[in-house]
Amino acid sequence: MDLVVAFLESTIRLSVPLLFAALGGLISERSGLANVALEGKLLISAFVGAAVAATTGNPWLALTAGVLSGALGGWIFGVLSVFTKADHIVVGIAFNMLVAGIIPTVCRAMFGGTGGTPQLAIETRMPAPIAGDFTFFGAALLLCWMLHWGLRETKWGLRLKAAGDQPVALIVQGVNPNWIRVWAGALAGACVGFGGIDLSMVQGSGYIRDMAGGRGFIALAALILGGWRPVPTAIACLVFAAADATQMLLQGQKLFGFNVPNSLVQIVPYLVTIGVLALRFGGKGMLAPKAINQPINP
Amino acid sequence: MTRLVPVFVSILIAVLLTSILTLALGESPLVVAEVLLRGSIGTPTAFGYTLYYATPLIFTGLAVAWALKAGLFNIGAEGQMTMGGIAMAAVGIVLADLPGFIAWPLAVFAGFLAGAFWGGMVAWLKIRRGVHEVLGSILFNFISYGIAGFVILDLLRNHESQNPETLPIGQSYHLQALSDLVGIGGTSPLNTAFFLALAVALLVDVVLQRTLFGLRIRWTGGAPEFARRSGVSISATTLKAFAISGGIAGLAGASAVLGYMHKAREGFAAGAGFVGIAVALLGGARAWGVVAAAILFGGLQKGSLDLDLDTENISRDLAIVVQALIVLAVASRGALVELWLLLKAKYESSKARQV
Amino acid sequence: MQTGRVEFQNITRICEPSKYRALDGVSAKFEAGQIHAVLGENGAGKSTLMKILFGLVRPNEGTVHVNGSVAKFASPTDAIRTGLGMVQQHFSLVETLSVIDNIMLGHESTLGGGRLDRARAIQELEEALPSEDLRLDWNRLVGELSIGEQQRVEILKLIARKAQILVLDEPTAVLSPREIESLFKILKDLKARGRTVFVITHKLSEVFDHCDTWMVLRAGKFVGSGEIAKTTRSEIVRAMVGADVPPLADRVKMQVDLAKPAIRVSNLSAETSSGRLGALKFSVHPGEIVGIAGVDGSGQTELVNSLIGIQSFSGEVEVLGNRVEGTFDETQASNCLAGLLASGLALVSEDRHHQGLWMDQSVWLNANLGYKNESWLHLGDWATEAERFAREYDVRAPGLGTEVRNLSGGNQQKLIFAREMMSRPVKLLIAHQPTRGVDLAAVQLIHGKILAARAAGAAVLVISSELDELFALSDRLLVMAGGVFSGEFFREGGDGFDRDRVGDAMILGKRGST
């Protein structure tokens, strides 16, 4: 029984960064901005949040700074992808590289080492009611519902979907879809920012080098698996989080009398992701935005 | 020649932006440049190291460029390289006593096969199951780290060593250091894998430009619907192209595993697969462009190692920043060209008005 | 109070960098509250002129006057505000959104907090509805609508923006005759409400049945204009094609060999996301040209794809004596197609930019792709071959190294025909939309080459949505509608090719399928 509770708790905890990253990615991709830079944005906000907490000691300031840095990162990513008419995937990869290079550089200048921020004291992390496992989880579910509703019922959702599916429809009405994509990128970055903060200030106690560990890419897989729709995407995130929780429970355990090597156990979530993707596709039901990763010439 | 202009402009922009970053961190860009140059081409040994670092980048750069020709984005070179290196080490350990003339070619072939298998699986998932190759490649990268960890830390671990590494490979598998062989590269670990890389570059260029097989790969990438209506099988071409790309990336471990460490150490790929993307985007139009870009980036990596010691605030990670900025600048060269044409047109029209 | 007068004064538009004069000093005047036909061959400049009116393209010289005052639109948004609207040939609809969402997009009425007020939008639209024929189910997804209904959504978008002047670019190209009737009924309703309508077209019959005035452009120059009621058809034809009406190619009498059909199809059925085919049966023999007529999207694409084996189907298909398998397996299908092409199938696909050419490669490479199967490429021979093709088919390019994307549509199409017809002896030609968007001289050349292939004993299948083209070429004409053949006509014997009866078959099929 304890094991079940531990498993569920751990699933919920692990799902939070995935949910924020995947739902943020959803905003971006529905606008037509293909987003393989989720990983980079998780890292930026995790680092900025922890760095601000370490220097000012104010967790609220850190939260704000983390989310804003995610938004700024998303905005820059959007501008670079949209106005240069470059391939969004190439820009996304370069963005991730840039982040991977800049964070240690800045980290060394600020804290003297490239490995991460100093350990955050308990009072500079998110305070109790927020730091509880379920507050961030609840916020992620609220975001999911807001997207689900907002995409259907608001002017904002209408224009976002148009920018992703048929940008010409906006151009002929005098609305520039490129800016919709850029701001969708920024909003996406802000959402991902909550995920980053969760990594370094709720679950962790400070920033550790490459702490996102591929979550940005698993979030992308969840988004694709969820058919670019909020609710199925959230469910996919929970499935992947459960796989990750299983992996963590298995570490150091004996399975059928054998010592299972940790390095093999760690690949379980990725195998599950590949497996689920492979089973899901090859057929219909995909809802990729039609004009995703296509440049617009207004 | 005009095709090279945007490339140089891209590099220039990246240098400019890096300089700004350096200044912001309180260091002089000139000092950084001096450290980078001295560290990369200052001495024969330094240049030997540069070429040593460039060797895996030539392979991974060729792998990514080859796939791009077929319209595919292989960002799984890191994983393919890892699998290839593990396969080479495994062959060298398990069949340690093979004679020299067959030993290292066999290991190289095993590396190619392992990489090709890894790439082929991504292609298969794309063709048969509709999994986008970018996502598939990324996930396979993570899986390859796990498998490599298992082989290095459990299966073939050298328990007598303090380091996370495998048992040593047989003597007959060693690729010779160029300092011993022809006396170049100072005391650097530069080895014959560099020549293997150059040979593969030549081969890739000839196959792509002069053979029907290469033409079909480029055709499938450039005009898939046309190729399909001319009796070319898109799936088969995709599978072959991606598997060969994976195979080329699988060779990238040769320099470190067979030529220097003589074993596989955890993390031996060291990001060469990802830098290969930057190499391919910068120089990928032709194979010699890849070689040139790989040497540039190899020098950057080698030179940046000294930044940790020679500067207060800047670390070797600056090399990654420069590489990322170059990729960004190259990727947006279409916009740069457009901007240039716009400015030119404005200038000409204002001149015309004056006359 | 009538608004909607339009006047063009001395409009010139020069294309960069070719310095080609798309429009050359065009002046014309149009009254409000009428339906005006803007006529001309492909590339005559009619779309460019309308785009200038709409602010999409800026003229190098000249002015546009709307309601007597100079109109200088910086963008389509300005044009919309002044009461202009344009329906492009390619619709700009979001297929994943409902009709009303598409109409609201860009000027949404909201309840506050950004919440869409769809009820209000529907109410406003229904109050402004100028024609009952425009009524649609406002909540249906646009992707589920027929092409004709989608076109109505485009018109509704203009109505919702209170457009007084409506421009429709080639609105009938994709419609069946029945849908064309209903479109013009809507346009007449709009006219009755005082709106001005421009119809860009090259189809004369519609002009005579429905429009009030005509204007003809040729090679960027104004040729003539007038009232329809006071003009004859031949006057306009002469204005459109110029003084020298091109001669029809000679049609040799052929002995058709019925024993060995080049295409034999029986009971062919297929279902794809884009359409379906129902139990087709026909054959094409050496020495005859079989035409397939029909509105775009009636199953022509699926038919061609089945013939060359690149999609799955049921039934029997035999091409040049080889069985084409309907159970689609890519490796086998590509081998089969490669074999057919090598043994004398010439294939001209409908979308030349994607299916017939590699746009950013040279003329010489494109001239040889697919037919040189040596593993080591002898590129020197390729250049010689390309030169031969270009000479024979009058492909005009600055040099053989020119990227084909820089050729005109006509030269691109001639290059494709040259490659397909000259690379080896041709036994069967399948040409899908052989002359779409091609200049008149190229049309003449291509038609001549098709007739020459027939005279040389090849079997020819021409699929086109241009009836004139099919009437000029075919020995036998099959009409396709809703995925089935709805009529068969013969050049000799029977009643010949009758435009009205062929048109009826296109409608009848439609009725049969719905």
Q: How confident is the model over A117-132, as pLDDT tens digits?
A: 888 887 777 765 665 6
Of C355, C359, C373, the CB nearest to B229: C355
Q: Under DSSP, is residue C8 helix (H, G, I), strand (E, B) or coil? A: strand
Query: What pLDDT is attached to residue C337?
Result: 94
Of A106, A281, A283, the CB nearest to B131: A281
- Find the helix or strand (DSSP H, E) in which C314 lies: strand C314-319
Asked whether the bond before A59 is cis by omega within 30 degrees of 0, the reply is: no
Query: What pLDDT is attached to residue A2?
Result: 81
Q: Can you name the residues that pair with C98 across neighbouring β-strands? A: C141
Query: What pLDDT is attached to residue A158?
Result: 96
Q: Minimal Cα–Cα distance from C407 to chain A, Å?
A: 22
Q: Are residues C217 and C321 in the same domain?
A: no
Is C422:C388 a contact under the CB 8 Å cutoff?
A: yes
- Write out chain A residues lying below 8 Å of B274, CB-based: 93, 97
Nearest partner of C404 among C350, C372, C435, C368, judged by Cα: C368
User: Is some CB atom of chain A closer than 8 A to the CB atom of B25?
Assistant: yes
Q: Are residues C213 and C277 in the same domain?
A: no
Is A85 buried (19+), middle (13-18) or exposed (0-12) by CB count in 10 A? middle
Q: Can you name the residues that pair with B177 across neighbouring β-strands? A: B191
- Find the helix or strand (DSSP H, E) in which A25 lies: helix A2-30
Nearest partner of B300 among A112, A114, A101, judged by Cα: A101
Where are the domains positioned within chain A?
15-217
Nearest partner of C28 among C202, C231, C215, judged by Cα: C215
Is C157:C75 a contact under the CB 8 Å cutoff?
A: no
Go through the domains of chain B in sequence order and give each one's CATH number: 28-311 (1.10.3470)
Is B220:B70 a contact under the CB 8 Å cutoff?
A: yes
Query: What pLDDT is attached to residue C249?
Result: 60
Which residue from A minimizes the CA distance to C88?
A172
Is C142:C150 a contact under the CB 8 Å cutoff?
A: yes
Residue at C387 is within a domain = no
The span from the CA of C169 to the CA of C219, in Å, is: 18
Average model confidence (pLDDT) across chain A:
89
Is the torsion defined by CA of A64, A69, A70, A76 positive or negative? positive
Higher pLDDT, A2 or A217: A217
Q: Are residues C226 and C279 in the same domain?
A: no
C235: pLDDT confidence band, cut at 50, 70 and 90? confident
Q: Under DSSP, is residue C192 helix (H, G, I), strand (E, B) or coil? A: helix
Tell me the residue type at A41. Answer: K
Written as six digits, the tokens of C357 are: 């050419």
Query: What pLDDT is attached to residue B66?
Result: 96
Phi, psi of C27 (to 5 degrees): -125, 135
Which residue from B minimizes the CA distance to A93?
B324
User: Which chains contact B through at least 3 pairs of Cβ atoms less than 8 Å apart?
Assistant: A, C
Question: Which of A76, A95, A97 should be substituted to probe chain B, the one whose Cβ sees the most B Cβ atoms within 10 Å?
Answer: A97
The span from the CA of A168 to the CA of A246, in Å, is: 46
Q: From start to end of chain A, where are the E strands?
A: 254-255, 258-259
Alpha helices, DSSP H only, in chain B?
4-24, 29-41, 44-69, 77-94, 100-129, 133-150, 178-181, 193-210, 212-222, 224-228, 234-250, 254-256, 272-283, 287-305, 307-310, 318-331, 333-354
Q: Find how far residue C315's CA is from the centre of its chain.
A: 30
The span from the CA of B157 to the CA of B145, in Å, is: 15
A241: pLDDT confidence band, cut at 50, 70 and 90? very high
Residue at C364 is within a domain = no
User: Is some CB atom of chain A closer than 8 A to the CB atom of B127?
Assistant: no
Q: Can you tell me the mean pLDDT for C390-415?
A: 90
Is C261 buried (19+), middle (13-18) or exposed (0-12) by CB count in 10 A? buried
Query: What pLDDT is attached to residue A282?
Result: 40
Q: Minimal Cα–Cα distance from B121 to chain A, Å?
A: 11
Query: What pLDDT is attached to residue C510?
Result: 42
Residue at C175 is within a domain = yes
The interface pTM score, or ipTM, of the predicted complex is 0.88
Is A293:A34 a contact under the CB 8 Å cutoff?
A: yes
Render A172-210 in DSSP notation, one character per residue: TTT--HHHHHHHHHHHHHHHHHHHHHIIIIIISSS-BTT
Tally the C-alpha atoms within 13 A of residue B349's C-alpha that lie toward its C-beta: 6
Q: Find how far residue B52's CA is from the centre of its chain.
A: 12
Q: Are residues C44 and C84 in the same domain?
A: yes
Of C310, C331, C359, the CB nearest to B228: C310
- Write out chain B residues lying below 8 Å of A44, CB-based: none
C348-401 per-position pLDDT tens digit: 999 999 999 999 999 999 999 999 888 999 988 999 999 999 999 999 888 899
The span from the CA of C313 to the CA of C137, in Å, is: 34
Give CA angle at A67 (A62, A68), nearest 5°.
95
Number of domains in chain C: 2
Residue at C404 is within a domain = no
Render C414-459 in DSSP notation, one character per residue: HHHHHHHHHSS--SEEEEESTTTT--HHHHHHHHHHHHHHHHTT-E
Render B186-213 in DSSP notation, one character per residue: TTS--BTHHHHHHHHHHHHHHHHHHBHH
The span from the CA of A240 to the CA of A255, in Å, is: 21
Phi, psi of C321 (to 5 degrees): 80, -5
Is C53:C17 a contact under the CB 8 Å cutoff?
A: no
CA-CA-CA-CA torsion for A242, A248, A253, A255, nearest 10 degrees?
30
Q: Are residues C210 and C149 in the same domain?
A: yes
User: Which chains contact C through at least 3 pairs of Cβ atoms less than 8 Å apart?
Assistant: A, B
A69-79 per-position pLDDT tens digit: 999 999 999 99
User: Is some CB atom of chain A closer than 8 A to the CB atom of B121?
Assistant: no
Give the residue numbers in C contacting A (CB under 8 Å), as ranges.
Answer: 75-77, 80, 86, 88, 92-97, 101-102, 104-108, 110, 113-116
Query: What pLDDT is attached to residue C77?
Result: 80
Give CA angle at B153 (B151, B154), nearest 5°.
65
The span from the CA of C66 to the CA of C79, in Å, is: 10
* Tens of pLDDT, residue by residue, chain B (355 residues): 566 777 888 889 999 999 999 998 888 999 999 999 999 999 999 999 999 999 999 999 999 999 999 999 999 999 999 999 999 999 999 998 888 889 999 999 999 999 999 999 999 999 988 888 888 998 999 999 999 999 999 899 888 888 899 999 999 999 888 887 777 778 889 999 999 999 999 999 999 999 999 999 999 999 999 999 999 999 999 999 999 999 999 999 999 999 899 999 988 988 899 999 999 998 877 889 999 999 999 999 999 998 888 887 788 888 899 999 998 988 887 777 777 777 887 787 777 666 5
Which residue from C minimizes the CA distance to A160?
C105
Q: C77 is in which domain, residue-wise?
A: 6-241
B295-324 per-position pLDDT tens digit: 999 999 999 998 888 887 788 888 899 999
C177-192 and C499-513 helices cross at what angle (nearest 10)? 90
Q: Are residues C310 and C272 in the same domain?
A: yes
Q: List CB contacts of A246: < 8 A, sequence separation 6 or more.
A: A7, A268
Q: Across the beta sheet with C428-432, what order do the strands follow?
A: C345-348, C428-432, C459-463, C289-293, C476-481, C484-490
- Write out chain B residues lying below 8 Å of C372, CB-based: 212
The span from the CA of C445 to the CA of C3, in Å, is: 46
- Write out chain B residues lying below 8 Å of C376, CB-based: 210-212
B131-140 per-position pLDDT tens digit: 888 889 989 9
Q: Find how far residue B298's CA is from the centre of its chain.
A: 10
- Write out chain A residues lying below 8 Å of C112, CB-based: none
Query: What pLDDT is attached to residue A252?
Result: 74
Tally the C-alpha atoms within 13 A of residue B230's C-alpha that lie toward its C-beta: 25
Nearest partner of A225 among A147, A291, A287, judged by Cα: A287
Query: What pLDDT is attached to residue C125?
Result: 93
Q: List CB contacts of C236: < 8 A, sequence separation 6 or more.
A: C39, C204, C207, C214, C216
Q: Are residues C91 and C144 in the same domain?
A: yes
A283: pLDDT confidence band, cut at 50, 70 and 90? very low
Cα dist. A95→A38, A45, A109, A270 in Å?
10, 14, 21, 23
C281-329 per-position pLDDT tens digit: 999 999 999 999 987 778 899 999 999 999 999 999 999 999 999 888 8
**Can you tell me which residue has the tokens 């002929």?**
A172
Domain boundary among C209, C241, C273: C241
Nearest partner of C91 among C173, C208, C194, judged by Cα: C173
Query: What pLDDT is attached to residue B354?
Result: 64
Q: Minimal Cα–Cα distance from B155 to chain A, Å?
A: 10
Q: Minimal Cα–Cα distance from C265 to chain B, Å?
A: 20
Residue at C68 is within a domain = yes
Residue at C338 is within a domain = yes
Of C75, C93, C116, the CB nearest to A153: C116
Residue at C413 is within a domain = no
Of C337, C369, C375, the CB nearest to B211: C375
Residue at C440 is within a domain = yes
Domain boundary among C241, C271, C296: C241
Render B142-179 in DSSP notation, one character per residue: HHHHHHHHHIIIIITB-TT-SSSBBPPPPGGGPPPBHH
The span from the CA of C346 to the CA of C453, in Å, is: 11
The answer on pLDDT for C115 being more than 80 is yes
Number of other residues whose CB lies within 10 A of the CB of residue C178: 17
The span from the CA of C237 to the CA of C116, in Å, is: 51
